């Protein structure tokens, strides 16, 4: 009789162990911390500053600066890691919004005077548009996400970069 009770006790312990094992496995989740977009953003901040410095010291006008940045975007996009890249640069008199995306899309640019303008970014080709007297703030809407930037006297430079890593879209927005 005593062995029968021991059998039930051992069986109960095994069943409880199996249940705890399932609960532990089902509650386990992998927390991934990908720094890929942050690293690319920091690298882009340094590289683009060097490009802008070169253009400024060479005395390039706005059109030549746009061509210089378009060449930079084309070279940078060959890394194959970025899905989209946007530059916002200029001053309180005129701002240029330049974009690159793998797929064609439409973005909306809203100036401080609340004038909204749609802007098509062609697939895998740098596209740019100039906005005159934008005011002190510019808002860009990309894929239904708003990005606002405060414009200061002097030259302004901002960028937005996005990529998909392991099925997750990551976005880096510069703070100038």
Report CA-CA distances (Å) from 111 to 24, 29, 78, 88, 131.
52, 43, 31, 12, 8
- Across the range 148-172, mean pLDDT stands at 84
Is this model's pTM higher than 0.95 or not? Answer: no
pLDDT of residue 32: 52
Q: What is the pLDDT of residues 13-57, one digit of tens each?
A: 888 888 887 766 655 555 554 567 778 888 888 888 888 888 888
Query: How far apart, in whole angstroms, are the C-alpha atoms of residue 42 and residue 20?
Result: 45
Q: What is the pLDDT of residues 76-112, one digit of tens each?
A: 777 656 788 888 888 888 888 888 888 888 888 888 7
Query: How far apart, in whole angstroms, are the C-alpha atoms of residue 41 and residue 54?
Result: 20
Q: In this structure, what is the dihedral angle of CA atoms 162, 163, 169, 174, given to the nearest 10 degrees? A: -30
Domains of the chain are 36-173 (2.60.40.10)
Report CA-CA distances (Å) from 34 to 37, 95, 163, 167.
8, 33, 11, 12
pLDDT of residue 119: 82
């Amino acid at each position: 009789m005593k062995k029968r009770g021991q059998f039930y006790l051992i069986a109960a312990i095994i069943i409880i162990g199996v249940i705890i094992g399932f609960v532990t496995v089902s509650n386990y989740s992998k927390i991934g911390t990908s720094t890929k977009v942050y690293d690319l953003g920091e690298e882009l901040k340094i590289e683009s500053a060097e490009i802008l410095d070169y253009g400024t010291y060479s005395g390039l006008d706005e059109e030549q600066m746009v061509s210089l940045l378009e060449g930079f975007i084309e070279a940078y996009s060959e890394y194959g890691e970025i899905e989209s890249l946007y530059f916002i640069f200029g001053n309180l008199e005129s701002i240029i919004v330049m974009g690159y995306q793998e797929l064609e899309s439409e973005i909306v640019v809203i100036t401080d005077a609340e004038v909204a303008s749609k802007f098509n970014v062609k697939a895998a080709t740098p596209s740019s548009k100039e906005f005159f007297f934008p005011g002190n703030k510019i808002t860009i809407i990309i894929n239904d996400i708003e990005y606002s930037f405060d414009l200061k006297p002097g030259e302004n430079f901002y960028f937005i970069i996005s990529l998909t890593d392991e099925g997750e879209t990551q976005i880096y927005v510069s703070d100038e």
